Amino acid sequence: MFVLAYDGTDFHGWQIQPGLRTVQGVLEETARRILRHPVEIRGAGRTDAGVHAAGQAANFQSDSEIPVTRMRHALGSRLAKDISLLRGREVDARLVASRHPLSKLYRYRVYACSDRPVNELLQRYTHHFWHPLDLERMRAGARHFVGTQDFAAMASKGSERQSTTRTVIRCEVYRRYDEVRFDIEGTGFLYNQVRNMVGTLIEVGRGHWEPDQVKEILESRDRSQAGPTAPAKGLCLQWVRYPPALLLPASEQEPAAD
């Protein structure tokens, strides 16, 4: 398994799409040239076009005898400048990055200032919002997102999931200098769920809606009642957590008790 970071600005998302530059497509093509056989790389999250990652997890199976440390160096040195392989390790063959996460953390960054976010290329990684935002109001609204419940009102069209029930472990709102940040951890998310949650909280923070209206929106299960979808560029997949046992290769696992 590899942990990677990427700037999603110039990618059409994670998933392979014919004729388009995607993170999965770049990784698979690079791995194929090194391993000399096709591979299917599974990512923990299918980030959309323009969405970034600081800790995306991905894995694939190979019968290559190249050690993981050398493979990471070979892959990393050949990748485009907007992708970086941070870590690599051999894991249990049963682990599939897209199927086995215990939780994921997404961070959304809003540049809440009248000045333009041009320092340190912040215009690529933050959503610039000119209006004042009330943190306490947004925190009060965010509490309604925590728990296991139906998030149909936060799912954009195009979601292929049979169930719209999801579990949000935490939804934190805080300020860091000129940024307002939203840290949202969950066991899994619907299509555009995080960006729709942020868009809804922004409406609360700017005073258009009361915090308790978030609960009413969720109960409506109606996407049209929620806030707009926040732009992709402010969203980043921070990390993915897996069952510790699956992060060990078979050779390092303790034998089952008789």
CA dist., res. 153 & res. 197, Å (int): 9
The predicted pLDDT at position 251 comes to 60
Q: Active site includes 48?
A: yes
Confidence of residue 48 (pLDDT cuts 50, 70, 90): very high
20 and 92: one domain? yes
Encode pLDDT of 108-130 as tens digits.
999 988 777 777 778 899 999 98
175 bridge partner residues = 180
For the chain, the average pLDDT equals: 92
Higher pLDDT among residues 148 and 158, named by residue:
148
- The average pLDDT across 150-178 equals 90
78 and 110: one domain? no
The reply to whether the predicted model has a pTM over 0.85 is: yes
The answer to whether residue 194 sits within a structural domain is yes
On the 0-12 / 13-18 / 19+ scale of CB atoms within 10 A, 139 is: middle
- The average pLDDT across 140-154 equals 97
Domain count, the chain: 2
Of the candidates 10, 48, 212, 222, the residue annotated as catalytic is 48
Q: Give kind and range of the element (H or E) at residue 104.
A: strand 103-111
Which distant-in-sequence residues (6+ apart) come within 8 Å of 254 by Cβ? none
Domain final residue, candidates 99, 123, 156:
99
Does residue 148 sit in helix, strand or coil? strand
90 and 108: one domain? no
Confidence of residue 254 (pLDDT cuts 50, 70, 90): low
- Domain span at 166: 103-240
94 and 107: one domain? no
56 and 124: one domain? no
Domain final residue, candidates 75, 99, 123:
99
CA dist., res. 103 & res. 240, Å (int): 6
112 and 233: one domain? yes
